[in-house]
Structure 1
Amino acid sequence: MSSSRPATGGGRIIAVAPERVVRWLNGFIGRHGPSAIEQTLDGITLTAADGSVAACALPLDERFEAEVEPEELVEAFVERAETERVVAVVILRKGAFAIGVFRGAKLLASKVDTTYVQGRTAAGGWSQQRYARRREKQAAIALKKATEACVRVLAPFVGEIEAVVGAGDKRGIAEMLTEKRLAALGDRLLPLSMDVGEPRLNTLKDTPRQFRAVHIHLTEPEPEPEPVPDAGDAEGRAARGD
């Protein structure tokens, strides 16, 4: 299954599961004609006979380390895209967290929990300040609890984790990774945006669909307008009912 959204500057961004990339590329060539292919830093770009362009990026900010022969580019790209990498996922939102370690789409370890954090209040004056101090204290306790859970789940895999993907409170997640037992993971946190719901186990299990996806920026030429019949020809007369 793939998803699509408008791209900044035109075209669409299509997210395709790595296992379906070959099928998608074959469909692109079938719809738009033979394509020239070139290697880019983060993937490949196909330019079709009709001017359509499909710029395909490897998942998880992966990069090609060396030049690949043109006839081997698609195979090399798909092989890299399908590689089952070990990825940590941290979802943090208002006292709730979901933390997991995946190999490919398989969840190896996880922890999901919730700590009460008071919502903002409309009260004014002294009461508002008291509520704010209470809320800050509760938020600090919740973050500490999430950090300890993060250590328990991620620390055994620190040597294997190749990337960390966060969702929700990005600032809180970055702070969690400053904990000395997780410091090695700080530079593996990717600026990848994921659209996720509340931190739940089902939410966590669904994240590979996003972080493993190949993102394709598809641009297609505007269709040429149909010619307007000349007023003096037969089609023009028919259009006017003459």
Structure 2
Amino acid sequence: MATVLVPTVRWERWVDNFVASHGPTPLVVMEDALRGQAEDGSHFSARLPFDTAYAGPAEAGAFGAAAETPAQWGVLLVRKGGFAVARMAGVAMVEHKIGQRHVQGRTKAGGQSQQRFARRRDNQARQAYEAAADHAARIVGGVRTVVTGGDHTAVEAVLADARLATLAVVGPWLAVPDPRRAVLDRAILDAQAILVDVANA
């Protein structure tokens, strides 16, 4: 089973290509998703972005048309090496901030030296997360919906800030490297894509 992110504008073509490769594929709506089961045993399950439930007709076109981008939403990406946060109005970026922080890597030294490095690394990471939370509170603090990614522990540390308590985190989770502008731009596109779990027989 593989997971792919399909932009909504390419969705119907993706389904057509799946049918061309695997044969007739009846579609059904099940558990808020659109599912297809091909004659050769291959199958897929597609979910709308932003955890939107689907209850429309079992048709690729109708499903793709139901993929809507919220009027106001945000993206929050955090890793130990940095963060990126953006506030969106539909598909347009309204404001963003990208920050890099140095967090010391692990050391091979042992004993007290290793403990000292570990404390320094933890302090650096905490300061990086606090900086990310400050910018997140300023940029997306008033937004309801946010898509997150990066490192789970880092994101959870930032979201623990009381100023971000009203944020509703929705899927998909975005596995990204240390955030840079190109990474943020890609994440914004991926957040709006249809999430497809596909198994090829």
Normalised to the residue count of structure 2, the TM-score between the two structures is 0.82
Gap change, CA 1:134 and 1:41, over 3 Å in 2: same
Deviation at 1:172, TM superposition (A): 2.6
How far residue 48 of structure 1 moved from its aligned partner, in angstroms, is 4.1
Q: Judging changes above 3 Å, is the alpha-carbon distance between structure 1 residues 132 and 14 closer, same or farther for their aligned structure 2 residues?
A: closer
Q: Which has the larger radius of gyration?
A: 1
Q: Determine which of 193, 205, 208 is the counterpart of 2:185.
A: 205
Q: 1:74 to 1:56 in 2, by over 3 A?
A: same
Aligned residues: 200
Say if 1:89 and 1:100, in contact at 8 Å, map to a contact too: yes
Residue in 1 that maps onto 2:162: 180
**Do 1:166 and 1:173's aligned partners in 2 also have CA atoms closer than 8 Å?**
yes
CA distance in 2, matches of 1:69, 1:129: 59
Is 1:189 aligned to 2:179, yes or no? no
- Mapped to 2, the partners of 1:130 and 1:97 lie a distance apart of 25
The equivalences for 1:84-123 within 5 A come to: 84-85=69-70, 86-123=72-109
Aligned to 2:194: 214
Query: Is the Cα contact below 8 Å between 2:81 and 2:178 reproduced in 1?
Result: no
Residue by residue, what CA displacement relative to the aligned partner does 1:191-229 show, whole Å, maximum 9, x if unpaired? Answer: 6432322211121111133222223334455xxxxxxxx
Letter in 1 for 2:96: S
Among 57, 65, 74, which residue is 2:60 paired with? 74
Alignment CA distance shift 1:196-1:105 (3 Å): farther
Secondary structure (helix, strand or coil) at the match of 1:193 reads strand
Task: After TM superposition, give the deviation of residue 183 of structure 1 in Å.
Answer: 0.5
Give the corresponding residue for 2:149.
166
The residue type paired with residue 174 of structure 2 is M
Structure 2 letter corresponding to 1:114: Q
Alignment RMSD (CA, Å) = 2.6
> Using the alignment, how far apart are the partners of 2:39 and 2:108 within structure 1?
61
Counterpart CA distance in 1 for 2:96 and 2:133 is 13
Residue ranges of structure 1 left out of the alignment (5+ in a row): 1-6, 222-242
Q: CA deviation at 1:110?
A: 0.8
Describe the shift of the 1:130–1:27 C-alpha distance in structure 2 as closer, same or farther (beyond 3 A): closer
How do residues 31-50 of structure 1 correspond to structure 2 at under 5 angstroms?
31-48=21-38
Question: 1:60 is matched by which residue type in structure 2?
Answer: F
